[in-house]
A and B are shown apart, each in its own frame.
Chain A
Amino acid sequence: MTTVPVRPPLVRSSDRMIAGVCSGLSAHLGWPVRMVRLGMAVAALAGGAGFVFYAWLWIMVPTADEAARRNARRPASPIAPAVSGPAVDSRPGSSPPVGGPTIPSATADAQLQPATFPSAMYDAGPSFQPTAAGAAPFTAGAAPGTASASAAGTGAWFRVRSMRYGKEILLGSGLLLVAGILIARLLGADVPLGTLIPAAAILGGAAIAWMQLDETRRAGLVDKTKADQAGGWARLAAGLALVVAGVLVMVSGSGSWEQTWLALLASVAVLGGVALVLLPWGLKFWRDLETERAGRVRETERAEIAAHLHDSVLQTLALIQRRAGNEHDVVRLARAQERELRGWLFKDPAKESGQLSDRIKAAAAEVEDGLGNAVDVVSVGDTVMTDRHEALVQASREAMLNASRHGGGPVSVYLEVSDGGVEVFVKDRGTGFELHTVPEDRLGVRESIIGRMKRHGGTADINSSPDGTEVRLRLPAAAAENGEGKP
């Protein structure tokens, strides 16, 4: 079970002659595409088997685009990445879509997960062994477990696992059973084929239909595509046909082919008529369901946004109204709220924090909240934080504190990351000061800025005039981290 070779997913390639089936197949199997095409052509001559196989793959295998789209988490609204990003991740069913044999993502999923659940593999495997009859109840029984919201990780893994090997084991055991029966007949044993075949047909058909139901319901929780539905309908129809045929043969009990064919034709005609009548209703019902589902998603998003706005913006607005007399407080509240709202609207949950610019901005926000003067950060380039950068951030923070405290006005911070190193400039428009007039016991500038930068191999210059003060911090790139400067 663990030695399954890693293959690229089976998808219809865009490099195609007709529908991209052959090149997709060759990529999946690792065979030369010419051989696959030739084989398909030869098979087509053999009673049209190639045609049938090709058509079947055409219908069942998604194109590369479709597969990619299915795997992608599609935001439901423009701000959805910000709003529902983390929520989507924590929902149990939203890891890449569920799959039958035609859905490639199962491979990737299964590779990611197995280490976590070593025992489940062996629990799941044997349940499939006995017969098709044994497998069907199992699948049905597994549904509530996998669909339940609690067992997130286990559910995802288990579902993928069981679906992935269930089909093969089911098919294999079915074929083994048939072979066994044939051998038994050859050996002269009396096997009641008249009842066995229809019974097997009914069981097989029901199994196919039930598994389908089970799958679409799970898939429905996550994702929906036309291709899935088409495949689903085909499987449902196959299951239905098998069951109907089995029931007919069993009921008629004749075993005579003519009679069975006639009955089959009649029942299919009746079923077709019924389907024709019910189809519009079914479609309407389906559409209503879709509309309602979309509405519910929007509603959830709206509720989330409303909750956030209530917690943040409305509270701040209330505070601002109470302090309307104090301009300083109002500006401070408004700026803090603006920063928070921007962060919420435009943050990218996938983007890892721990970038230098994020830390500098956080330090600026902290100083701004503490002292009330605006601290504007402009950053060019970015890099991943290291210990040395930590020192730079601390020194910058100290410089911002001084600038805000003594400058008494807005502070400009400029961060530039290049291959050569990192530079931070902190500028205020205060009255300035002379470094040598600062008393020896005041450690702010001398120790926290200049000393700290020197200890980490950097430099700090302070350029002060009556028009303002600018602190220039420079940290050259260490030899080891050359080249990781600008992203």
Chain B
Amino acid sequence: MSTPALDGTRAEGQGETVRVVIVDDHAIFRSGLKADLDPRVIVVGEAGTVEQAIEVIARTRPEVVLLDVHLPGGLGGGGREVIAGSAALLGATKFLALSVSDAAEDVVAVIRAGARGYVTKTISGTEITDAVFRVAGGDAVFSPRLAGFVLDAFGTAPADIADDELDKLSARELEVMRLIARGYSYKEVAKELFISIKTVETHVSAVLRKLQLSSRHELTKWAAERRLL
């Protein structure tokens, strides 16, 4: 799946390096991903199970963890459990969810646990590298599909103007999400809405925060219903 939102538009981060840990239970995928990543991305550790992952992350303290949603071990919680187990590091270490699954409940669950973004495993090495730098810089990474999930979960009607509650997206946030779902990159979104890329990133981060913190009934209900699909 292409993720045009990640087209290397970040100015900062060039020339710097990022230390990452790859957590995935398939060794073939880990080595393939390592080979695909940019040399600026330094892989400091790998793990294949929940327990290993928590241990490796605590030991190496990477800036970014590339985390598979489905993992063996632990209590069966997969990537969510790894994030929960590394809660103490959550400020310094950012999690980017990687998944072969398109299932909404998997993705939303791991985002709500604290991941800063989600990309599918089929995206290219360049795109993943961009996503890693973006997440390391504190921004959120939304693929079109994740934006679609968000729109589905929060509904497509905007909140009232002075309404900053967590249960609804503002009109501007909705616009940004819609454009991302349509396949626009952050740069294209900025151009389309006549705002700066920084503002787009702020909106996306706000949406991520709402997705993580909203306790609204519909969100859980929606996730539960998705399980039936």
Contact = CB atoms under 8 A, between A and B. Distances in A.
B173 to A, nearest CB: 14
Listed residue (B2, B102, B147, B157) with the most chain A CB atoms within 10 angstroms of its CB = B2
A346 B148 contact: no
Given A414-B182, A470-B182, A376 B156 contact: no
Contacts of A409: 2
A427 interface: yes
A380 B103 contact: no
A346 B157 CA distance: 29
Nearest to A412: B183
Contacts of B1: 374, 376
Given A374-B2, A376-B1, A425 B148 contact: no
A414 B102 contact: no
Contacts of A348: 228-229
Contacts of B152: 380-381
Contacts of A346: 103, 229
A378 B147 contact: yes
Contact of A429 (B4, B102, B148): B4
B51 interface: no
Given A378-B145, A409-B2, A416-B156, 4 more contacts: A378-B182, A412-B182, A416-B151, A418-B156
Nearest to B1: A376
B144 A414 contact: yes
A427 B181 CA distance: 11
Q: Is the interface of B mostly helix, strand, loop or mixed?
A: loop
B222 to A, nearest CB: 11
A351 interface: yes
Nearest to B144: A378
B178 interface: yes
A374 B144 CA distance: 14
Interface residues of B, number: 21
Interface string A317-342: 00000000000000000000000001
B151 A380 contact: yes
B55 interface: no
Interface of B: 1-2, 4, 102-103, 144-145, 147-148, 151-152, 156-157, 178, 181-184, 188, 228-229
A467 B184 CA distance: 11
Contact of B183 (A351, A379, A427): A427
A407 B52 CA distance: 44
Contacts of A20: none
B188 A376 contact: no
A412 B144 CA distance: 8
A410 B185 CA distance: 14
Contacts of B148: 378-380, 414
A169 B188 CA distance: 78
Given A416-B178, A470-B182, A380 B2 contact: no
Contacts of A351: 228-229
Interface in A465-485: 467, 470
B182 A376 contact: no
A342 B102 contact: yes
Listed residue (B102, B144, B151, B183) with the most chain A CB atoms within 10 angstroms of its CB = B183
Contacts of B144: 376, 378, 412, 414
A380 B144 CA distance: 11
A159 to B, nearest CB: 31
Nearest to B120: A376
A472 to B, nearest CB: 9
Contacts of A378: 144-145, 147-148, 181-182
A412 B145 CA distance: 10
B55 to A, nearest CB: 29
Interface in A334-366: 342, 346, 348, 351
A379 B102 CA distance: 12
Contact of A427 (B182, B228, B229): B182
B2 A376 contact: yes
Contact of B2 (A342, A410, A414, A418): A410
Nearest to B183: A412
Listed residue (A348, A376, A379) with the most chain B CB atoms within 10 angstroms of its CB = A376
14 contacts: A342-B102, A348-B229, A351-B229, A378-B147, A378-B148, A378-B181, A380-B151, A380-B181, A381-B156, A412-B4, A414-B183, A416-B151, A425-B183, A429-B4
